[in-house]
Amino acid sequence: MKNEIPFIKMQGAGNDFVVIDNRPSYLDGTEIEIVRKLCDRHFGIGADGLMLLDFRQPDHFSLKYYNSDGKPAEMCGNGARCAVYMMHLLNPAHKEFDFGVFGEPYSGSVTGTNRVKIYWNRSPLIINIAGLEKEVPTEFKRFLYVNSGVPHLVLEVQGELGNFDITGWGAFFRNHPLFSPQGTNVNFVRLHDHEVTIRTFERGVEGETLACGTGALAAATAVHHWGQSPFPIDIQARGGLLTVDGSSDLSNMSLEGPVRRVFTGSVKRTDL
C-alpha cells in the first residue's frame, strides 16, 4: 500500500475530478470510503468524481471512473476529456489518444489550448420506458430517455431554468421506480432561438453538477431527435459551453469543450 498519493485536480466545464496516475497501483478501485473522502468538499480534496489512469504507452491509456459516492460509472464524458488532457500534460508530444473506460474503447484529441474532444465508439441508444409518459407532468414539454454511456432522462422545461427546482425534480426522477434498480441521471433543458441550455442532476453525485458530458450528449441526441437542430449542437451548461457533433443517424458522436488543470498535490493514506 502506497501511503503518499500524488494527484491532479482537473475540471472540464466546471465538472471537477481528482485524477491519479495509478501506474504504481495506489488504489485498486474497491476503496469506496477512500474515494468518498477524497471527493468530499469539506474534509477532502473535493470533486464530482475520481479517476484512476494506467498506461504503458504515451498515447494509449485505461481509465476507471468513480462518482463521489465511491461507486464506479461506465463512462464520464467530461472526466474522459480531463484524462486526455492529463495524458497530454504527461506526454506533451502527443495530442491524439486511444483509451478504454472499464474496457470500452474511445478516442480523444487535444484540439487547442485547454480544449479537448472525445469520440464515442457507439451511437447513443434511445430507450422507451413503458408508462413514463404518465409520470412526466405538464412542467415539461417533452422528454427522451437516452443511454449515452450511462442512462440519462432528458426533460424539456417550459420556462426559465434559473429558478427551476432542479434538486426536487432531479431526485424524484433519479429514484423513480421506473428506472430501478440503477436509477438515472436527469437533465433539464430549455430550447430558445436555437440555443440549448442545460442543468443536470447526476446519479452518484446525488445533486446538480456544473456540467455533465454524457448528459450533454444525451441532450443533443434529444434535441436532434425532436427535430430542433442539426449537428453540431452547442449545449450551454452552467460551467461552460460544450459542443456535440455527429451524423444524422447518431453515429460518429463527439463531445468537445474546455478543460483545465486546477492544482496538483498529494495526500497521505493512513487510511485518510
Indicate the SS3 state at residue 82: helix
Beta bridge partners of 108: 97, 118
39 a catalytic residue: no
The catalytic residue among 34, 50, 63, 76 is: 76
N- to C-terminal Cα separation, the chain: 13
Whole-number Å distance between alpha carbons of 163 and 47: 25
For CA atoms 254, 63, 264, 49, give the dihedral sign.
Answer: positive
Residue with cell 472540464: 12
Q: Does residue 266 contact residue 6 with C-beta atoms inside 8 Å? A: yes
Whole-number Å distance between alpha carbons of 224 and 168: 27
The catalytic residue among 47, 80, 186, 212 is: 212
If one counts every other C-beta atom within 10 angstroms of the C-beta of residue 203, the result is 22
82 a catalytic residue: no
If one counts every other C-beta atom within 10 angstroms of the C-beta of residue 74, the result is 14
Active-site residues, by number, are: 76, 212
